[in-house]
């Protein structure tokens, strides 16, 4: 059974950095890109970026380009999403997700809530 | 970037009634070489991540009840729930995978029971 298990909720101050993990099981980690998706409270889904665990190559959405780092650790089958210079509007649930067959986001983590509060 | 606009933002349907959600794309997501529309539909229930319902605009994911159907081509798409059940209360999103990155989603449509 494929599972993506994310780290827990975080509370951060404006300007801080948050790092969320996503540990996978049930498939070969390097077989699929790992994507990260933001969902602000009561809002829709926004793709943030991805990493290819095979070679570490990354792509980021323009909106997050300067503040986002996505990595993959093949020794622990874990992907990390680090967002810096946090703002109040970064308060959101962050999901990791994989695309299995070149189309849809088939497997999702349970989500990690990040609250930015002073 | 491809912008997806869903309508309506919310709708209330009686149990057993029909729910229709529209998704309009800012550009065609039909790939002419294989005649496939690169559009998917997801269902998201409170406290859960989204779940794939439909891909290639009209192909149901395995295990998805047949009351869910997708139609449309090019820039205009529809998700229909033919006979709404209580468990269908959720937010529904369309998503394109034609021109990536970025992968983009519609803003979501909330479906409730009338």
- pLDDT value of residue B36: 97
DSSP E strands in A40-111: the ranges are: 45-51, 58-60, 68-73, 78-83, 92-99, 105-108
Identify the bridge partners of residue B60 per DSSP, sorted by sequence position. B54
pLDDT in tens, B17-31: 999 999 999 999 999
A105, A97 Cβ separation under 8 angstroms: yes
Distance from CA of A39 to the nearest CA of B (A): 10
Residue B101's contacts (CB-CB under 8 Å, 6 or more residues apart) are A47, A49, A50, A59, A61
Mean pLDDT score, A30-53 = 95
- pLDDT value of residue A11: 98
pLDDT in tens, A37-48: 999 988 899 999
Q: Which residues of B touch A (CB under 8 A)?
A: 38, 40, 42, 49-50, 52, 55-56, 61, 93, 95, 97, 101-108
- Is A102 a residue whose pLDDT tops 90? no
DSSP assignment of B51-69 = EEEEETTTEEPTT--TTEE
pLDDT in tens, B40-65: 999 999 999 999 999 999 999 999 99
Residue A113, judged by CB atoms within 10 A of its CB (0-12, 13-18, 19+), counts as middle
- Is A61 a residue whose pLDDT tops 90? yes
Which chain B residue lies closest to A102 (C-alpha atoms)? B97
- pLDDT value of residue A43: 87
Mean pLDDT score of chain A = 96
Residue B62's contacts (CB-CB under 8 Å, 6 or more residues apart) are none
- pLDDT value of residue A33: 96
Nearest to A21 by CA among A4, A33, A37: A4
Alpha-carbon dihedral sign for residues A78, A83, A86, A88: negative
Give SS3 for A42: coil
Q: Do A45 and B56 touch (CB under 8 A)?
A: no
Q: Which residues of A touch B (CB under 8 A)?
A: 35, 44-47, 49-50, 59, 61-62, 95, 97, 99, 102-106, 108-111
pLDDT band at A63 (very low <50, low <70, confident <90, very high): very high
- pLDDT value of residue A100: 85
Residues of B in contact with A50 (CB under 8 A): 101
A98, A33 Cβ separation under 8 angstroms: yes
Residues of B in contact with A47 (CB under 8 A): 101-105
């Amino acid at each position: 059974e494929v599972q993506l298990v994310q780290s827990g909720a975080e509370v951060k101050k404006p300007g801080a950095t948050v790092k969320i993990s996503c540990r996978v099981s049930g498939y070969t980690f390097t077989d699929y890109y790992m994507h990260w998706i933001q969902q602000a409270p009561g809002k829709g889904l926004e793709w943030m970026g991805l990493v290819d665990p095979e070679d570490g190559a990354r792509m980021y959405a323009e909106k997050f380009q300067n503040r986002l780092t996505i990595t993959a650790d093949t020794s622990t089958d874990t992907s990390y999403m680090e967002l810096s210079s946090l703002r109040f509007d970064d308060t959101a649930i962050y999901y990791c997700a994989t695309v299995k067959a070149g189309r849809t986001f088939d497997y999702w983590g349970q989500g990690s809530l990040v609250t930015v509060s002073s | 970037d491809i912008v997806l606009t869903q309508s309506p933002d919310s709708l209330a349907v009686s149990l057993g009634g029909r729910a229709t959600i529209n998704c309009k794309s800012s550009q065609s997501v039909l790939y002419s070489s294989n005649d496939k529309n690169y559009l998917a539909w997801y269902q998201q229930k409170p406290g859960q991540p989204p779940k794939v319902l439909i891909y290639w605009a009209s192909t149901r994911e395995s295990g998805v009840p047949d009351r869910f159907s997708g139609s449309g081509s090019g820039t205009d798409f529809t998700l229909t729930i033919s006979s709404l059940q209580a468990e269908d209360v959720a937010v529904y999103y369309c998503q394109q995978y034609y021109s990536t990155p970025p992968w983009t989603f519609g803003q979501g449509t909330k479906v409730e029971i009338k």
